[in-house]
Structure 1
C-alpha cells in the first residue's frame, strides 16, 4: 500500500537530481535547444563521461528526455515547467542566502561600477519592443539561435561582435540577451558596446525564461 512517505521519497528524487551545480548548468544549456552529450559536456566544462553520468540522473528524475539521431543521443527538457522550477530555485536562493548575493555581485562586478550599465526587465523589454525603441541582440551560438530566439533578434555570437558591428542599428537602444540570468555573454557584450558608444542594456533573464512565460519566439 502506498504511503505518504513513499510519495515524498519519490518527490525527493527531483530535488536530488537538482542537487548538483553541474546538472543545473546542463539544464540551462538544454533549455536553449536539444543538444548532444558532446555539446553539453563542452558547455558545462565536463568530460563526456561525467556529462553522461549527470544526464542519467536528470533522466531518472524525469527532467530530461533523450532521443537517438544517428549515432548521437540528443537531450531536451521534458517540459517548460522545469525552467520555471529553476527560476524559483534561483529566486529563493538569492532572497535567503547571503552567499548567493555575494557571488552574484562578484560575478557581475564590472556591470555597474558607475551605475550606468543597468539591466532591463521583461516588462520594460516588452514595452520597448512594442514601441519600436529597442533592438535585440542574441549573443548565443548560431545553433541555439536557430532553435529559437526572441522576435526580430539579431544573432551575433560574442566572439564575432566587434567584427559585425555594422549589423547593429544606431538609432535604437540595444538590448543584449543570452542563456539566462547568470550567463555572462550578454554582460560582456553590453560592456563592449557601451565602450564603443552604443546605448545598451542587458536583459535580466534569458531565452528560456522568455519562452517559459509563453511570450512569442521565432
Structure 2
C-alpha cells in the first residue's frame, strides 16, 4: 500500500468517527450516557427529542462504535462503547470552555442569574469533604445516584428539593453537583437554596469528572 493511500484511509476512518459526534444532539447524548446506561425513552425525554429522532442519532453513534446496545424485552438500552469516548467529549468540552469566549460568556450569564456563578472546583471540594459542616447534594435522578455517586453525598433530585428544605439545617455549607458543567440541575438547586437563605454553591464539574479522576465512588446495589 502506498503511503498516500494509507494516510488517506487512516484519516478518513478517524473523520467518520469524529463526524458521528459532530452534532449538538449527539454530543448531548454522549454527555448523558456518561451517567450510565439509559433506555431510548429516557434519552428522548432528557434531550427533548422524539423517540424516532433519538433512535436515529443513536444509530449514527452505534455505526461509529461509540455506543453499545442491550435488549431487555421490548426495551433497548444504550451505553457508551468505552470510557475513552467520554474522555474525548470531556477534553472537547474543556477546550471550548477555556478557549471560546462566547461559550464562557454563555455559561457565566446563565449561572449569574441563578446565583451559581462562583462554582467550586473539585480540588476545593476534596479539601472540604471531611468537614462536618459541608453537605454534598447529588441533585441528579435517583437511578443515576444509585449507579454511582460521590461518597457521603445525599440524593435530593432537584425537582423535589423545594419540598425538602425544612429538613435541611441552615448552619451547613451545601455543595450541589449533577452531571457536568452543562447540566443545569445544580444551578437550579443553588438558586432554590440561596433564595431561602442557605449557603450553597455548585460543583463546577459533574459526577463523571469525579469518576474519571479515579476518586472513590459509592454504588447502591439493588
TM-score calculated relative to the size of structure 2: 0.90
| Residues 111 and 117 in structure 2, CA contact (< 8 A), matched pair in contact too | no
Match of 2:146 in 1: 146
Match of 1:72 in 2: 75
CA drift at 1:117: 5.2
CA drift at 1:213: 1.4
Matched, 1:118 2:118: yes
Q: How does 1:92-111 map to 2 (within 5 A)?
A: 92-111=95-114
Matched, 1:33 2:28: no
Match of 1:198 in 2: 198
- Distance in 2 (CA, whole Å) between partners of 1:106 and 1:162 is 24
The DSSP-based 3-state class of the residue aligned with 1:73 is strand
CA pair 215-3 structure 1, distance change in 2 beyond 3 A: same
| Residues 151 and 216 in structure 2, CA contact (< 8 A), matched pair in contact too | yes
Post-superposition Cα deviations, 1:42-78, rounded to whole Å, max 9, x if no partner, equal: 1111110110110111112222111111211111112
- Aligned pair count reads 215
- Distance in 2 (CA, whole Å) between partners of 1:212 and 1:62 is 21
- Distance in 1 (CA, whole Å) between partners of 2:102 and 2:206 is 23
Structure 1: gaps of 5 or more residues: none
Deviating more after overlay: 23-32 vs 162-171: 162-171
- Distance in 1 (CA, whole Å) between partners of 2:127 and 2:99 is 31
| Residues 151 and 217 in structure 1, CA contact (< 8 A), matched pair in contact too | yes
- Distance in 2 (CA, whole Å) between partners of 1:61 and 1:130 is 43
Match of 1:214 in 2: 214
- Distance in 2 (CA, whole Å) between partners of 1:208 and 1:158 is 18
| Residues 83 and 209 in structure 1, CA contact (< 8 A), matched pair in contact too | no
CA pair 117-132 structure 1, distance change in 2 beyond 3 A: farther
CA drift at 1:133: 3.7
CA drift at 1:34: 0.6
- Distance in 1 (CA, whole Å) between partners of 2:25 and 2:113 is 25
* Structure 1 runs, 4 residues or longer, greater than 6 Å off: none
- Distance in 2 (CA, whole Å) between partners of 1:203 and 1:43 is 21
TM-score calculated relative to the size of structure 1: 0.91
Structure 2: gaps of 5 or more residues: none
Match of 1:182 in 2: 182
Deviating more after overlay: 173-182 vs 6-15: 6-15
